[in-house]
Amino acid sequence: MNKTRAITIVIFGATGDLTKRKLIPALFALHNEHRIKDFQIIAVGRREFTDQKFRDHVKPSTAKDWINFSKNITYHKLEFTNTKEYALLTKKLSFCTNIAFYFATAPEYFSIIAEQLRKHKLTNESIGWRRVIIEKPFGNNLLTAQALNTALTKAFSEEQIYRIDHYLGKEFVQNILVLRFTNTILDHLWHKHIIDHVQITVSQKDGIGTRAGYYDNAGAARDFFQSHILQLIALVAMEPPGSLTAEAIRNEKMKVLEALEYAGVLDESTVRGQYAAGIVDAKKAIGYIAEANVPKQSRTETFVAAKLALNNFRFAGVPFYVRTGKRTTDVADIHIVLKDLPCLLFCALPTAKTRSNVLTISIQPKQGIALRLNGRSTGHTLGVQPVKLEYCQNCTFGSTPEAYELLFADIIRGDHTLFTSWEEVKRSWQITDKLHEHWKKNKNLPLYPAGSSGPKEADILIEQDGRRWI
């Protein structure tokens, strides 16, 4: 292999599931689209593989032009905790210029890998750029996140660190800023005088599968709420940035996170739950504690709902209702619910079915935007019924690039826009840690059937305010 390639991507933990399912397919797609050229991939792992066996291990099921791509992949065996073995990796990288280090290992190895890269002067940018990509989760709470950040910043500068939240790479998440700041009609309604409340639902039909080792120590709050949910709130509520630079966008998101608080005492503004046995896709599904390797007395939450408030001028008094959970439905939607007009005319008709106007931004499985209005019902009798104006992006254009594909492209370009800053991560943990401190005292953990929308307490959370989940 030519060791003077322009870009070298080193994947630590390359034998894991993430590399096979996401990272290699993303790089393969970029290669096929001619978005990366003159590159090599060095897969680093603890298992015994030859170059060819590793290539066969990560080969996608449909792999046109795979042979040309796979020639750029070599495998390097390394025991992450054996500091003596890093010398061989250093020798392999000695002629490389631009290097991206991807940490796809368990989090406990992040610090030692970063330290060894520093000791062997692999973080030095004297002959080219050096970037490190940290896979979620970034810590397990604020304390561990701070320790990890301290270890990383001893080896890399903040400009070199790319903390991945793959949700920010989803195409319609990126579309939120375009929709908000290029459309006059949306700009005028994005205010507390027009918006009644905001709902964000990010849920999954699947259970935890084989991820019990990670998930039982994380739970829904650390896995989804701390990262995906809070980042979506920041994108929805941020002010227009002064420019499209990463710094300008991050600064505006940070202002939202700083203004974000739970709406009242946690007993009344938060709910957690754990899935029990139920029916999913007309098939019986086991409960969480029956999943492989989950402790039978586990108190880990698989569902979180919360009512949050923003203490800023634009959204003061507008509640944000959020929920995320396993074994519910595969959906990620943001609903901007507008205030109702005074009920003076049509809503008094016996055939009227007036509903609140709702702007919906759909992230998955559908990608698009819809506006629910009220229109005249058909027939001889005057009536009102809801109508929907809708644009479906993936219906129109078919499949869109995977999140990791877009994120890799940005890493290579040196664009931090879709990556979270340390200040964002720090504030997100401060918000999330409040939940876990509360749950140490409040032991209530309601169960909900697999295949349902979550525990009934989540419905009560929003219904006590005279509203309902959409």
Exposure on the CB side of residue 225, measured as CA atoms within 13 A: 33
Per the annotation, the verdict on 166 as an active-site residue is no
Active-site residue identified among 228, 416, 436, 438: 228
Q: CA 124 to CA 146: how far, in whole Å?
A: 23
Q: CA 46 to CA 105: how far, in whole Å?
A: 10
Q: Which of 411, 403, 407, 405 is nearest to 7 (CA)?
A: 411
State the Cα angle at 119 between 113 and 123, rounded to 5°: 75
Contact 384, 347 (CB under 8 A): yes
Contact 448, 273 (CB under 8 A): yes
Q: CA 42 to CA 44: how far, in whole Å?
A: 6
Show which residues are catalytic. Answer: 228
